[in-house]
Structure 1
Amino acid sequence: MTPTEIASGLIANISTPDLKLSDFKLIAFDMDSTLINIECVDEIADAAGRKAEVAAITEAAMRGEITDYKDSLRRRVALLKGVSVESMEGVYHERLKLNPGAAELVHACKEAGMKVLLVSGGFTFFTDRVQRELGIDYTRSNVLEVEDGLLTGRLVDQPWGDICDGEEKKKMLLETCAMLGITSAQAIAMGDGANDLPMMGVAGLSVAYHAKPAVRAQAMVAINEGGLNRLLEVLA
């Protein structure tokens, strides 16, 4: 169908008249530039004097111009070698903010009886804190290796695999649905970058938030202005 502007900056690529929050049992969020205002890897790189170099790789990966997300993340993490945990604390306390409407949307979903999943190509250092702050039920993200208080430039393998990329985000969404005894049609997936498209593709409702053009084009709903809680304008 032809995209419809429901309200200023809120676009629907599907017909939405009967959608309700109560139709869904799970909402899955990307973190960087979706739930929060920054790309954490870029801000950590700033402490190493390599922000421009790392941010260029991040931008290309989010646009889908780099198809191997795992390789792009390994390249970026290697450039973080020597950054201190103290510097990462500074990123969290001084630069990381929840995006507008994030807390309101999570609260509304939990009030409706939904579970909340955070799946990120970023790092547990930040996802664990955002999980606690918002009361998120489940997370999956990557672990930065630390030795003597400094990043080694490597990631730590986890029981489920090595890196949370787009395919791992989709897998985690499907596994969470199975664990909850629901279908993926009862899940909402929200993101902004190309690595969010796999999970958005299997969800019952896909939402692009201030997203890259390719993601906006493929999402069922695109929030191009305002906060995350604008999704509540679509779901009665």
Structure 2
Amino acid sequence: MNETSTAQIPVQLLVMDVDSTFINEEVIDLIAAHAGLGDQVAAITERAMAGQLDFAASLAERVALLAGLPETVLDDVRSQITLTPGAAELVAAVQTGGGQVALVSGGFAPIIAPVAARLGITDVFANHLEVENGTLTGRTAGRVIDPSAKAEIFADLVTAGGYAREATVAVGDGANDIGMIRAAGLGVAFCAKPALVEAADASVTTRDLRKVLDLIAVREDARSTAGT
């Protein structure tokens, strides 16, 4: 474990994407696997994350394929979720330093929120799947968390907390994270698609979120040196 992972760090706000960032999986792909459509949906997801498809339209297309699945599939998928290595340490470091941690996801709140709660994260912004009579309808309910929504939510969190931009960090892996990555004081592309790497301040290619702590430490060292 890195020394920085247990230390207080000067981050007022950390916002992370969820699928393939905070967790190892793509939730919608796991749900689709229960319908025997895993490969079909995964191919659409891959293109959407690479910025080759409109995210909202691709989400609607993928969710439509889930129509008819029992709501209980969400419980099954939740049991398959695994935290990305270093996720708990990164979250704890920010929280110990008095910072806020939020998750902003194009995934689904019923699956993400309970996982986040185990780490003390209560600020979770994600999509909702419409359910009727215990069955998925193939539609989302409420606001769709698309790229523009992610950027807006990030800006709203900064404003509500009165945070300094340079004390904010955003971490994601797909093209739909570009807006919030560019808005953050430190935008990190995590095992990311090329479109996001180009937009980010820094890139992590090792699947360990403790590497984000290393980037924060390097940035703070550079600031301290510049100030002397």
TM-score by length of structure 2 reads: 0.88
Give the AA of the match of 1:181: G
8 Å contact 2:16–2:104 — kept in the other structure?
yes
Which of the residues 11, 22, 25 maps onto 1:35? 22
Give the AA of the match of 1:28: V
Displacement of 1:233 after TM fit?
Answer: 1.6
- Per the alignment, residue 80 of structure 1 pairs with 66
8 Å contact 1:21–1:235 — kept in the other structure?
no
Displacement of 1:183 after TM fit?
Answer: 3.4
Displacement of 1:188 after TM fit?
Answer: 0.4
How far apart, CA to CA, are the structure 2 residues paired with 1:170 and 1:155?
Answer: 20
- Per the alignment, residue 139 of structure 1 pairs with 124
How far apart, CA to CA, are the structure 1 residues paired with 2:163 and 2:105?
Answer: 22
- Per the alignment, residue 186 of structure 1 pairs with 167
- Per the alignment, residue 7 of structure 1 pairs with none
Give the AA of the match of 2:111: F
Write 1 or 2 for the structure with the bigger share of helix: 2
8 Å contact 2:188–2:202 — kept in the other structure?
yes
How far apart, CA to CA, are the structure 2 residues paired with 1:38 and 1:85?
Answer: 19
Displacement of 1:184 after TM fit?
Answer: 3.2
- Per the alignment, residue 57 of structure 2 pairs with 71
How far apart, CA to CA, are the structure 2 residues paired with 1:105 and 1:27?
Answer: 9
How far apart, CA to CA, are the structure 2 residues paired with 1:234 and 1:211?
Answer: 16
- Answer yes or no: is 1:230 the counterpart of 2:211: yes
Give the AA of the match of 2:60: R
Which of the residues 80, 96, 102 maps onto 2:87? 102
Displacement of 1:24 after TM fit?
Answer: 2.6
Which of the residues 177, 182, 188 maps onto 1:201? 182
> After the TM superposition, which of the residue ranges 179-188 and 189-198 deviates more from structure 2?
179-188
- Per the alignment, residue 4 of structure 2 pairs with none
Query: After superposition, what is the alpha-carbon deviation per residue over 1:4-54, rounded to whole angstroms, capped at 9, x for unaligned?
Result: xxxxxxxxxxxxxxxx97443100000000000110001100111111111
8 Å contact 1:115–1:137 — kept in the other structure?
no
- Per the alignment, residue 13 of structure 1 pairs with none
Secondary structure of the residue that 2:163 maps to in structure 1? coil
8 Å contact 1:174–1:184 — kept in the other structure?
no
How far apart, CA to CA, are the structure 1 residues paired with 2:29 and 2:110?
Answer: 14
Q: What runs of 5+ residues in structure 1 fail to find an aligned partner?
A: 1-19
- Per the alignment, residue 214 of structure 1 pairs with 195
Displacement of 1:135 after TM fit?
Answer: 0.9
How many residues were matched structurally? 211
Write the mapping of 1:90-129 to structure 2, written as runs, cut at 5 A: 90-93=76-79, 95-129=80-114
Write the mapping of 1:20-59 to structure 2, written as runs, cut at 5 A: 22-59=9-46
Q: What runs of 5+ residues in structure 2 fail to find an aligned partner?
A: 1-6, 218-228
8 Å contact 1:36–1:97 — kept in the other structure?
yes
Displacement of 1:230 after TM fit?
Answer: 1.2
Identity %: 41
